[in-house]
Structure 1
Amino acid sequence: MDLTEKNKYLSRFGFSFERGGAHTSRTMMLEDLRVLLSHVERSDAEKDSYLQAIMDENCLGKRSAKTRMLTYRHLVELYSLDKNNVLFRTLLYFWHRDVDGQPLLAMLCVYARDTIFRSSAQFILKCPEGAVIQRESLEDYIDAQEPGRFSNATLKSTAQNINSTWTKSGHLQGRSKKVRSCARATAGSVAYALFLGYLTGVRGNLLFQTEYIKILDCSCMKAVELAEEASCKGWISVKRVGDVIEVLFPNLIKQEEMERLCEQN
């Protein structure tokens, strides 16, 4: 399977490889997501329920109908808000079970769906803890991906939004001066990261070495420990025999989705 076919395949599960991304105008909107998911508590809610909550009930407290619709569209772009989308459905599963992990859970979903934000991970993760992150350096990095694509104003706002998201996820600290810090992985965020890797076709021990685990600032050993904690809670299934680890997701994958995964492999 070549890259184009793989991306098309992963898009069926909710991954996105579109050229754009919400971070040109928004952060990952963690606060709005929290309010929305507290307002619409049912995990089986239809997509229209989220639209109604934002537009008709104004659960996010937006001033105008135009702003409400724009907010809804950005949240859809970031998270899909569709229970038939396995990325969002699984986000909800861990969201209500691992409250402390919500910032990292949201970040993982956005990472899988926002190309511009995803491209910034290499820049952020290579910076050692304690390093000062200059917005201008991130602007240069973004511009280098596709030289001349964005205006200076868009580069500035995009870099600010990206830095804000990495701050909310715990990878950066500070308001005006951003300093690299270490995110604090949780059992739920590790389980979600393992699941994302599983959807891409990775199995066994290699699941603990994917990009999704790496962006949690989590060592392989710590990830195994947190995965076993998630297994004890009944969220996922982890079996270890010697150095061999098997990770399964019986609570998260529907039969038809498993058939697709088997066809891929």
Structure 2
Amino acid sequence: MTEFDDRDIIEGSSPGGANTSGSMLLPTLQSLLSSLPASANFDDYERQAVEFNVLGRDSFEGRKRTFRALREMYLLDRDRILFRALRDLWVENPLAQPLLAGLSVLARDSSFRATSPLILTAKPGDTITNGMMADSLGNAFPGYSRPSTEKIGRNTAASWSQTGHLVGRTNKERVLVTATPVSMSYAMFLGHLQGLRGRPLLDTLWVDFLDVPTGEREALALEGARKGYLEYKSGGNVVEVGFRHLLRPMAGVRT
């Protein structure tokens, strides 16, 4: 591409996504990223997963299938701004990795995103059934059959369990996740990529995903600024937010 746009963040109204056939594969992603330095490129990740089988799949086809799913959700390409920022932040706090990965899936996977209103409006302790997940998917994508929405509902529920928003086996319970300056910085970065600036960056789907009360969001952003993940200045009603490091020059990208 000749200049940056937000094509890495899908629009989300069309059915599809890796969650139609499986979960977000968080442990698999962690294994793959830990096997290579942060400077690794797409070909390096593909070799590790497919040729060298660092993910331990039983068959060659299984290796390729797993890598395709990871690529769809996380891009795995340092020439793509969404993944490069995730990779930059990945090692800052291992406890933030489930939410970092979840934000990438939320940006990339329409099935996972379609269930986000159900999960993010649920109160702690609320029960989330597979039927509720299937209903959310069916409402978003009426072309799906009920067996399809039930299957995808199970997959997306597994992903929400990996991010930490759900606990339990069959009928899952909503719990609050714990955001960090790392995950807040990435969430605000996604809003920036969509064209938002200033205070509105604190009020997006991406930040809602972190379960941070409205009154506590600015403090977490300021902590991210103190750690150097972003720049945050507030004076009166004016808020300025920058991402000098995450948006450092890249071939074909306008910062």
Place the TM-score, normalised by the shorter chain, in its bin: over 0.9
Q: What is the deviation of 1:232? A: 1.1
Query: Within the alignment, does 1:144 sit opposite 2:139 as a pair?
Result: yes
TM normalised by structure 1 equals 0.89
Task: Please give the alpha-carbon distance, in whole angstroms, between the structure 2 residues aligned to 1:257 and 1:244.
Answer: 32
**8 Å contact 1:43–1:92 — kept in the other structure?**
yes
Q: What is the deviation of 1:87? A: 0.4
Structure 1 unmatched runs, 5+: 1-7
Where do residues 32-111 of structure 1 align in structure 2 (5 Å cutoff)?
Answer: 32-40=28-36, 42-111=37-106
Name the structure 1 match of 2:184. 190
Task: Please give the alpha-carbon distance, in whole angstroms, between the structure 1 residues aligned to 2:133 and 2:164.
Answer: 18
**Helix, strand or coil: the match of 1:235?**
coil
Task: Please give the alpha-carbon distance, in whole angstroms, between the structure 1 residues aligned to 2:215 and 2:122.
Answer: 21
Task: Please give the alpha-carbon distance, in whole angstroms, between the structure 2 residues aligned to 1:58 and 1:257.
Answer: 31
Q: What is the deviation of 1:130? A: 0.9
* Structure richer in helix, relative to its length: 1
Name the structure 2 match of 1:209. 203
**8 Å contact 2:129–2:170 — kept in the other structure?**
no
Q: What is the deviation of 1:243? A: 4.2
**8 Å contact 1:33–1:75 — kept in the other structure?**
yes
**8 Å contact 1:98–1:187 — kept in the other structure?**
no
Change (3 A) 1:197 1:220: same
Q: What is the deviation of 1:242? A: 3.5
Q: Which digits, 9 at most, give the CA deviation of each residue in 1:142-182, with x for residues without a partner?
A: 112222x2233322221011111111112111122201111
2:242 to 248, 257, 263: 248
| Deviation larger for 115-124 or 101-110 | 115-124
Task: Please give the alpha-carbon distance, in whole angstroms, between the structure 2 residues aligned to 1:172 and 1:39.
Answer: 28
**8 Å contact 2:138–2:144 — kept in the other structure?**
yes
Q: What is the deviation of 1:226? A: 1.4
**8 Å contact 1:28–1:110 — kept in the other structure?**
yes
Task: Please give the alpha-carbon distance, in whole angstroms, between the structure 2 residues aligned to 1:80 and 1:98.
Answer: 21
Aligned residues: 250
2:175 to 171, 174, 181: 181
Name the structure 1 match of 2:156. 162
- Identity over aligned pairs, percent: 35
Task: Please give the alpha-carbon distance, in whole angstroms, between the structure 2 residues aligned to 1:255 and 1:161.
Answer: 37
Cα RMSD after superposing both structures: 1.8
TM normalised by structure 2 equals 0.92
